[in-house]
């Protein structure tokens, strides 16, 4: 199936934008998050990418999981769109 667009719901966007790093300024962290988002969209919109890992157990069972720069994205496909259901920071359980 070919994905036409990636949908980022408000709570997911807000969580990504709330990410803080002790080692970098807020501007550098924001730039980093923008790159993570762009890389995620690039991977999801790539028609060559045929198979993404699907969670088999746990809170997000049945959702696709994509890891980009240690951020874990949980994705659901709705028709030809990819909806990012949740995101977990690096090291977050």
Tens of pLDDT, residues 41-83? 999 888 777 567 888 888 989 899 999 999 999 999 898 899 9
Cα-flanking dihedrals φ and ψ of residue 77, to 5°?
-95, 130
Q: Which CATH architecture has domain 5-88?
A: 2-Layer Sandwich (3.30)
Residue boundaries of the structural domains of the chain: 5-88
What pLDDT was estimated at residue 50?
A: 56
Confidence of residue 38 (pLDDT cuts 50, 70, 90): very high
As beta bridge partners, residue 42 has none
Residue range 24-48: mean pLDDT, rounded:
92
Q: What is the pTM of this model?
A: 0.88
What would the DSSP string read from start to end of 56-84? -SSTTTTSEEEEETTEEEEEEEETTEEEE
What pLDDT was estimated at residue 47?
A: 79
Residue closest to 17 by CA, chosen among 89, 92, 91:
89
What pLDDT was estimated at residue 53?
A: 80
CA dist., res. 80 & res. 66, Å (int)? 17
Tell me how crowded residue 61 is: count the other CB atoms within 10 A of its CB.
Answer: 9
């Amino acid at each position: 199936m070919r994905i036409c667009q990636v949908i980022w719901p408000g709570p997911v966007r807000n969580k990504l934008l709330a990410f803080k790093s002790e080692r970098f300024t807020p501007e550098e962290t924001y730039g980093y998050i923008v790159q993570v988002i762009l890389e995620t969209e690039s991977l999801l919109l790539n028609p060559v990418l045929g198979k993404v890992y699907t969670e088999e157990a746990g809170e997000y069972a049945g959702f696709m999981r994509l890891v980009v720069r240690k951020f874990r994205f949980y994705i659901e496909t709705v028709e030809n769109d990819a909806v990012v259901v949740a995101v977990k920071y690096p090291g977050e359980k």
